[in-house]
Amino acid sequence: MDSLTQIVLGAAVGEVVLGKKIGNRAMVWGAVGGTIPDLDVLGGLFLSNIDNVAFHRGFSHSILFCILGAFVFGWLAYQLYQSSFHRWLAILSKSLAGVLIIAAIQFVITRFSPDTYWSLMLIIPSVVFGVFLNVKKRYFNDNWSPPQATIRNWQWLFFWALITHPLLDCFTMYGTQLFAPFSDMRVAWSTISVVDPFYTLPFLVCLITASRIDRNKKNRRLWNYWGIGISSFYLVFTVWNKHHIDTLFKNAAIRQNITIHRSISNPTILTNILWNYTGESTYYYYVAQYSMLDTKGITFSKIDKNHQLISSKNNPTMQTLKWFSDGYYTIHIMEDSWQFSDLRFGTFSGKGDGPNDFFFRFLLEKDKDGVIQLSKTLSGPPPEKKEQLFPSLIRRIRGI
């Protein structure tokens, strides 16, 4: 899920493991642990476009990484507090944490309003001022003392902060390679959107409230458990809701005499009310959208597969994209290239109206040797439709 959600989850887990012993430090380090797996996005700096597609949510989101990372990061945290340079290392760490918080908040804001950067003028001064006050209070007075936590305590904190990250990601459509490097299977239950404020915001409010209460008071733990409980209850609801929605799509296809061999569905961004559906038949895909507030029946749109336009035989790029899309894709012929459109995430209109109607799109071109390669990865609406994305989404959620 989005970075802010993973930070909140990691902080809450850190509080459960070590909050009573070390107070808000447990939340801070839990948040750090909850962020670490997503640092694989840095792979884009040194990997090719196609390798980066396979790398994200790969080994850094695996069970093995969580076990090994718990030992390494737990040991590093313990050594940090034992070091004579602790003060300056801690200031550096908190400064980096501030950067991550700014990036996470801005990420969430741009989901609502793409290309909006004015919010940084408010976010950056607020976070910088907060970090400054915290550093001044904690590290520039005579009352500071290192936290009373063992290496095992730190390693246990990092294990739970790390493992809950990929487990939560399993509930999204993008999924995660939980069993890497032993298997490249992506675990994707697709019950919740990668950004869902109904999951995150109550969780965040409870966490902030808990952080303002003394670590020795029972109310602090209660508020934190309330946050975990509410978010977990909502996550269970999304599982039930997906089963309910899938049944509606299945019955609608039967009534319309459409034979579906396999299908996939997922909630649209920001909500669990509006759902996308892709069903596969022998020669076509059938796509649809359904809002729980709809007053009309489900209508399917037919899309040609066009798989014959590009052969995947002896082509690593196509093989990777087929694996990434789980075989739900169509090919569009562009001017002098091709577009590989991933159908798992559905379409903006619910109808598959043209190449720009798909959330994940991959532009393919021939290199100088005539081999088809991935030239560009696109996600989200085209520039001319970005301003209408959020209003259109709200209307569609309302069943309009």
Contact present, 76 and 151 (Cβ < 8 Å): no
Residue with tokens 């709200």: 394
Asked if pLDDT for residue 98 goes beyond 70, the answer is yes
Per-residue pLDDT at 110: 65
Indicate the pLDDT class of residue 108, thresholds 50, 70 and 90.
low
**Terminus-to-terminus CA distance in the chain, angstroms?**
28
Cα separation, 47 vs 50, in Å, equals 8
Chain mean pLDDT for the chain: 89
What is the tens place of the pLDDT at every residue in 23-81?
Answer: 988 998 999 999 999 988 888 778 888 888 888 899 999 999 999 999 999 999 998 88
Dihedral class, residue 48 (left if φ above 0, else alpha if ψ from -120 to 50, else beta):
beta
Domain boundaries, the chain: 3-238, 257-400
Range of weakest confidence among 131-145, 225-239, 289-303: 131-145
Which residue did the predictor score with more confidence, 350 or 200? Answer: 200
* Beta carbons of 4 and 200 less than 8 angstroms apart: yes
Instruction: Judge if pTM exceeds 0.75.
Output: yes
Q: Which residue has tokens 């730190």?
A: 154
- The identity of residue 274, as a single letter, is L
Q: Is the peptide bond before 316 cis (omega within 30 degrees of 0)?
A: no
Q: Are the beta carbons of 153 and 64 closer than 8 angstroms?
A: no
